Amino acid sequence: MSAASTPTKKRFSGGAAALRVRFLGVLVFLIIIAIVFAALSPRFLTFDNTRSILFTAAILAIAAAGQSLVVLTGNLDLSVGSIMGLTAYVVFDISGKITALQPVVLIMAILIGALLGFINGFLISVLQIPSIVATLGTLSIYRGFVSFYGNAREITTGTLPPFMRDLAQAIWLGVPAYVWVALLVVVLTGLALRFHPWGRMLYAYGSNPKAARFYGLNSTYIIIGAYTGAGVIAAIAGLLLGAQVGNINSLLANGIELQVLAAVVIGGVSIWGGSGSVYGAAIGAIVLATINNGLVLLQVQEFYRLLIQGVAIILAVAVDALVQKRVIGATTRRRIMEVQA
Amino acid sequence: MKNVIRTWGWEGLLIVLIALAAIWSSTLSPYFLDPVNLLNSGQFFVIFSLMAFGLFPIVVQGEIDISLASTLAVGSVMLGKLSVDGVPLALALPLTLVVCAILGAINGLLVAVAGLPSLVVTLGTLGAYRGIAYIIAGDAGVTGIPPEYLTLGSTWVGIVPVSVILVAIFAALLTVLMAQTRFGRYSYAIGNNAKAAQMAGVPVAATRVAAYALAGALAGLAGLVWVAQYQSARGDNADGTILFVITAVVLGGVSIKGGSGRAVGVLLAIILLGTLQTGMRLANVPGTGQTLVIGALLIGSIGIPRAVQLVRERFAAAPRGAASRSVTSP
């Protein structure tokens, strides 16, 4: 098998270089906006403010890591906000009533997230519903379920497991605990994508579903796997968000999917599938949080934030299109050279 | 007969579902089937209908536009501002429609000419246009809109609200546009195979930009209906309604992959969703609970036929074994 030699060859190709430039591009963009904000506002580069940016970005970064799994396969998960809300509501409702279950809230969340993600994956891979439509449907269904389940009750801070409430406030080594959790989730996901066969399959399928099929990869398992993973990660994000918010109603994390998608796109995970990394997505989340924070410090009205965010998304995807062109150009050239040789 | 079922089966199914939903609703309230009541509740879905009609050709072309609700907001606040500045509607409306069409065309240019994925482009402009709407409207929004602008929301022809007639007119126009004109034929061709259409000489980019511009203009018109019905305009108008609009289009039998669907289907889907929502409101189902039913309907409408097909294939293809299965699962 020539798999060992192909990556080394790729390292020198224009395509891989373009992809690396794309990742570095997000970092450079982040640094540039940080410099601009720092120049405009003395309070921006303080330790406290940086900490608060990272704290805001933490949950978004986790959710974006989950979304990346799905986007890598060339699909989408619009139901991420509903999965977050449903998990937080159901888990904290049950653990509030049965306090013996409080130590296992994380396991409960993971199970729920896996189930919801599995349903998404099943609809998309087995019933072959386009992912936008399927997750648009489950977005409504999961959210509607919370509404029926909750029956307009609100879960109050007092019934939350104390350690979850503490976690939301905790600061470890000078950095909020949530940031450490986010780092852990993102790095674990990144490692799984890089080294675990499952992760390699996601990339293989995403970059060319047809070729992956000829190679003998089972698309059904890959897609269900990606969505289940995304569901689990979204559930963790929901749990953290619930603990942070405290009083949870049935609309928790409603509409967050567009922000998560924005983070993923800005972070350089190609919407066509097959390229990008969770680290990029996490940095995308930090970019969004930085823009928000900086504009608030500069007392720019909320309105301009939407405008700037929107333009940033389009710029990011425009750069992606250029990179994509380079990658296709590079691989096609290589293929032509191989044919000639 | 078989051909009729094959061609109009989806619309037929929708009509049956509408009938069922109407029967269910009328058991909840004796007033439901009162024509005056029916037509009046129809008013609530005029805005969604216009947006769905705009989205329909885009989806037929295999693209999507999630920024339409933001375009609507730009339209409504522009009309609001112009109205309190004393501009007559006859001048303000064309101006607004042109601006909204330009906003749509920007989406179209980014998608068709720059070759960017439509979902991400319109995700970006969803934020950007919403921002523009807020900037125009300011914090407080616009109120005290002169009566000239409100006629669309407060006029009846007999027992029929004018805005409902507007929807009927546009349903007819869209039907003609998609079935009888070059634009319509091009749209289906692009949706089925954009590359082949390009090679066959279809002006793909121009047709796409036209579809986006049309959607923008229709969203602007929906903005006028919004102003007329709610007698105010704010930056957050129609925020979050796009999911409902997409649901209506897909439920109307328009394939999200492009290339198929009819305006009548979209109209019927809106009527079905409207009937269901009215019924659920009568049954005191809370707002977010209603979304469960709508989501289930969306997934069921596509998933169930596919599930039936899968089951049937498993039984029918059993003797011939794996060969036929690999052919049918591309």
pLDDT one-digit tens code per residue, B160-175: 888 999 999 999 999 9
Percent of chain B with pLDDT over 70: 95
Structure tokens at B231: 């007698």
Using DSSP's 3-state secondary structure scheme, residue B233 falls into: strand
Q: What pLDDT is stored for residue A310 in this prediction?
A: 86
pLDDT digits (tens, 9 = 90+) for A72-127: 998 999 999 999 999 999 999 998 888 888 888 899 999 999 999 999 999 999 98
Question: Which of A317, A320, A326 has the highest number of chain B CBs within 10 A, making it the mutation to test binding with B?
Answer: A317
**Residue A313: inside a domain:** no
Q: How confident is the model at residue A334 (pLDDT cuts 50, 70, 90)?
A: low
pLDDT of residue B267: 94
SS3 labels along chain A: CHHHHHHHHHCCCHHHHHHHHHHHHHHHHHHHHHHHHHHHCCCCCCHHHHHHHHHHHHHHHHHHHHHHHHHHCCCCCCCHHHHHHHHHHHHHHHHHHCHHHHHHHHHHHHHHHHHHHHHHHHHHHCCCCCHHHHHHHHHHHHHHHHHHHHCCCCECHHHCCHHHHHHHHCEECCEEHHHHHHHHHHHHHHHHHHHCHHHHHHHHHHHCHHHHHHCCCCHHHHHHHHHHHHHHHHHHHHHHHHHHHCCECCCCCCCHHHHHHHHHHHCCCCCCCCCCCHHHHHHHHHHHHHHHHHHHHCCCCHHHHHHHHHHHHHHHHHHHHHHHHHHHHHHHHHHHHHHHC
Give B35 to chain A, closest Cα distance, Å: 30
Of the ranges A25-34, B26-35, B180-189, the best mean pLDDT one: B180-189
A187: left (phi over 0), alpha (psi -120 to 50) or beta: alpha
Residues of A in contact with B247 (CB under 8 A): 136-137, 140
Q: Please report where in the chains the tokens 């990742």 appear, as a residue.
A: A23
The highest-confidence range among A134-143, A191-200, B92-101, by mean pLDDT, is: B92-101
Q: What is the full DSSP assignment across B115-178?
A: ---HHHHHHHHHHHHHHHHHHHHTTT-B----GGGGHHHH-EETTEEHHHHHHHHHHHHHHHHH
The CATH code of the domain that includes A226 is: 1.10.3470
Beta bridge partners of residue B233, listed in sequence order: B142
Other Cβ atoms within 10 Å of A77 Cβ, number:
33
Residue type, B306: R
Query: Which residues share a beta bridge with A306?
Result: none
Shortest Cα distance, chain A CAs vs residue B4, angstroms = 25
Give the pLDDT confidence score for residue B322 in this predicted structure.
47
* Closest-approach residue (CA) in chain B for A254: B240
| Chain B residues touching A324 at Cβ < 8 A | none
**Percent of chain A surpassing pLDDT 70:** 91
Q: Would the pLDDT of B319 be above 60? A: no
Query: Is A16 a member of any domain?
Result: no
- C-alpha B279/C-alpha B20 separation (Å) is 11
Record the tokens describing residue A85, joined without a space.
């809300």
Calculate the alpha carbon distances from B43 to A43, A97, A149, B57, B140 in Å.
Answer: 51, 44, 31, 23, 26
Residue B285: C-alpha distances to residues A93, A144, A151, B19, B315 (Å): 22, 10, 10, 20, 40
Q: Which residues contact B242 (CB under 8 A, 6 or more apart)?
A: B51, B66, B67, B68, B69, B126
B314: CB partners within 8 A, 6+ apart: none
Kindly state the helix (H) or strand (E) to which residue B91 belongs, with its residue range. Answer: helix B89-108
Residue A341 pLDDT more than 70?
Answer: no
- Alpha carbon of B187: minimum distance to chain A alpha carbons (Å): 20
Least CA distance to A149: which residue of chain B? B289
CA proximity to A283, closest of A275, A273, A291: A291
Contact assignment for A314 to B290 by CB distance below 8 Å: no
What is the complex's ipTM, to 2 decimals? 0.80
Region B221-238 average pLDDT: 90
pLDDT of B323? 46
Nearest CA among A136, A251, A129 for reference residue B244: A136
Q: Between B102 and B154, whose confidence is greater? A: B102
| Residue closest to B140 by CA, chosen among B69, B181, B81, B183 | B81
Check residue A7 and give its pLDDT: 44
Comparing A166 with A286, which gets the higher pLDDT?
A286
pTM for this predicted structure? 0.85
Lowest mean pLDDT among A298-302, B102-106, B143-147, B310-314: A298-302
Answer yes or no: do A129 and B135 touch at CB < 8 A.
no
To the nearest 10 degrees (0 to 180), the angle between helices B68-84 and B118-137 is: 20
- Inter-chain residue contact A261 with B123, CB threshold 8 Å: yes
Which of A80, A133, A147, A261 best tests the B interface by mutation, with the highest count of B CBs <10 A?
Answer: A133
B247 contacts chain A (CB < 8 A):
yes
**Which B positions 285-304 lie with beta carbon below 8 A of chain A?**
286-296, 298-299, 302-303
Mean pLDDT of A237-241: 94
A-interface mutation test, from B293, B297, B299, most A Cβ less than 10 A away:
B299
A299 inside 8 A of chain B by CB: no
Measured CA to CA, the distance from residue A187 to residue A182 in angstroms comes to 8
**In degrees, to the nearest 5, what angle opens at C-alpha B104 toward C-alphas B11 and B229?**
70
Bridge partners, A248 (sequence order) = A155
The answer to whether position A296 is within a domain reads yes
Record the tokens describing residue B14, joined without a space.
């929708």
* A9 pLDDT more than 80: no
Question: How many Å is the Cα radius of gyration of chain A?
Answer: 21
For chain A, report the end-to-end CA distance as a whole number of angstroms: 19
Domain that holds residue A328: 23-305+318-340
The domain ranges of chain B are 42-264
B240 close to A (CB below 8 A): yes
Rounded average pLDDT over A48-56: 89
Q: pLDDT averaged over chain A?
A: 85
Alpha-carbon distance A94 to A101, whole Å?
8
Residues of B in contact with A129 (CB under 8 A): 299, 302-303, 306
* Distance, CA of B122 to CA of B103 (rounded, Å): 11
The answer, for B250 touching chain A at a CB cutoff of 8 Å, is yes
**A21/chain B closest Cα distance in angstroms:** 19
Q: Which residues contact B143 (CB under 8 A, 6 or more apart)?
A: B231, B232
Contact between chains at B131 and A306 (C-beta distance less than 8 A): yes
What angle, rounded to 10 degrees, do the helices at B287-316 and B263-282 form?
A: 130
Interface of B with A in 190-219 (CB under 8 A): none
Q: Do residues A276 and A72 make contact, with C-beta atoms less than 8 angstroms apart? A: yes
User: Residue B147 has what pLDDT?
Assistant: 86
Asked if residue A167 has pLDDT above 90, the reply is: no
Model confidence at A271, pLDDT cuts 50, 70, 90, reads confident
Q: Would the pLDDT of A166 be above 80?
A: yes
Nearest to A267 by CA among A290, A251, A244, A248: A290
Angstrom distance (rounded) from CA B190 to CA B62: 7
**Quick check: A76 contacting B, CB < 8 Å?**
yes
Q: Give the integer Cα–Cα distance in Å for B141 and B119.
A: 29
CA angle B303, A132, A304 (to 5 degrees): 155
